């Protein structure tokens, strides 16, 4: 079974299911917007040091809603024992992992496309002072989240209290990615250049590589358990 065909088949299947139900996207976007609105009432556009907390608010919205999205996605995969069907197939399990990472990443990017403009409007704050560097940092942070999140959602998806367990095991591992993402996007939104945040970007790239490669290698073992 060619590696790329497995990835294509799983992404296509997830896309068709999601378009029909909007189960993960709707829940994720709504939660992200609710978090923004609550923070909007708490801080508001008149808050003096908004540039210090802007990136934190955005990444809280992305991380919390993304966790819910992960739960929904993998919950749907467990329904009717479908995940067992994937495990039992001769498909390369690394390909299964990458397909799931791409699906989760697509979900996160969809959320960000909605959340970032919403944040700019609610807080009257220029999110994209430097468009491409900021986009790059959000993309790198999201890749890190998807890489760890997919692995941890697989680990927790067989558990009885899946959503609680996912949060407990996901966020400690996410700390380096979240810190780097918050720092880099925060400084870029405050007007710094890409060169100013180069160390944080490097950190994001390294974290993404470590999480992607180690999870890709270990996924076969995890999925079998």
Partner 1 sequence: MELTARDIVKGFGDRVVLRGLSLSVREGDVYVLVGPNGSGKTTLMNILASATRPDSGRVMLDQEVVAARRAEYRRKVGFLSHSSMLYSHLTARENLFFFGGLYGVSELASRVDIMLEQVGLRTDGDELVRNFSRGMVQRLSIARAFLHNPRILLLDEPYSGLDQAAVSMLTGILKKFSLHKRIVVLTSHNLEAGLEVATRGGILFGHRISHEPEGKPGRGFVNEYLSLIGKKKHGAD
Residues lying near partner 1 in the complex (CB under 8 A): 1, 5-6, 9, 13, 16-17, 20-21, 76, 79-82, 84-91, 224
Nearer to partner 1, 195 or 221 (CB): 221
Q: Do 188 and 106 meet the contact criterion of CB atoms below 8 Å apart?
A: no
Neighbours of 82 (CB within 10 A): 12
Smallest distance from partner 1 to CB 24, Å: 12
Residues in contact with 144: Cβ distance below 8 Å, sequence separation at least 6, in sequence order: 174, 177, 181, 204, 207, 208, 211
Neighbours of 50 (CB within 10 A): 17
Nearer to partner 1, 21 or 199 (CB): 21
Eight-state DSSP code of residue 181: H
Smallest distance from partner 1 to CB 17, Å: 4
Nearer to partner 1, 61 or 91 (CB): 91
Nearer to partner 1, 12 or 202 (CB): 12
Nearer to partner 1, 92 or 142 (CB): 92
Cα Rg of the chain (Å, integer): 18
Smallest distance from partner 1 to CB 80, Å: 5
Nearer to partner 1, 12 or 52 (CB): 12
Nearer to partner 1, 76 or 173 (CB): 76
Smallest distance from partner 1 to CB 211, Å: 25
Q: What share of the chain is helix, strand, coil (3-state, %, to 5)?
A: 85, 0, 15
Smallest distance from partner 1 to CB 59, Å: 31
- Phi/psi at 139 (5° precision): -65, -45
What token pair was written down for 17?
Answer: 């299911």
Alpha-carbon span 165 to 140, nearest angstrom: 25
Smallest distance from partner 1 to CB 182, Å: 35
Smallest distance from partner 1 to CB 223, Å: 11
Neighbours of 102 (CB within 10 A): 17
CA separation, residue 40 to residues 33, 54, 58, 67, 194 (Å) = 10, 10, 11, 21, 28
């Amino acid at each position: 079974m060619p590696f790329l065909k497995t990835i294509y088949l799983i992404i296509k299947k997830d896309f068709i299911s999601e378009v029909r139900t909007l189960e993960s996207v709707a829940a994720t976007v709504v939660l992200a917007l609710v978090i923004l609105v609550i923070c909007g009432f708490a801080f508001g556009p008149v808050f003096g040091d908004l540039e210090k907390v802007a990136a934190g608010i955005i990444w809280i919205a992305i991380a919390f809603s993304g966790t819910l999205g992960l739960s929904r996605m993998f919950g749907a995969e467990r329904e009717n024992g479908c995940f067992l069907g994937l495990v039992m197939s001769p498909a390369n399990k690394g390909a299964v992992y990458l397909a799931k990472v791409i699906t989760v990443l697509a979900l996160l990017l969809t959320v960000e496309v909605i959340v970032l403009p919403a944040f700019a409007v609610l807080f009257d704050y220029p999110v994209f002072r430097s468009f491409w560097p900021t986009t790059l940092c959000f993309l790198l942070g999201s890749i890190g989240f998807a890489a760890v999140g997919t692995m941890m959602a697989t680990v927790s998806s067989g558990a009885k209290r899946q959503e609680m367990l996912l949060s407990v095991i996901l966020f400690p591992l996410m700390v380096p990615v979240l810190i780097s993402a918050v720092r880099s996007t925060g400084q870029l939104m405050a007007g710094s250049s890409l060169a100013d945040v180069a160390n944080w970007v490097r950190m994001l790239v390294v974290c993404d590589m470590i999480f992607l490669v180690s999870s890709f290698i270990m996924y076969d073992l995890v999925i079998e358990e």
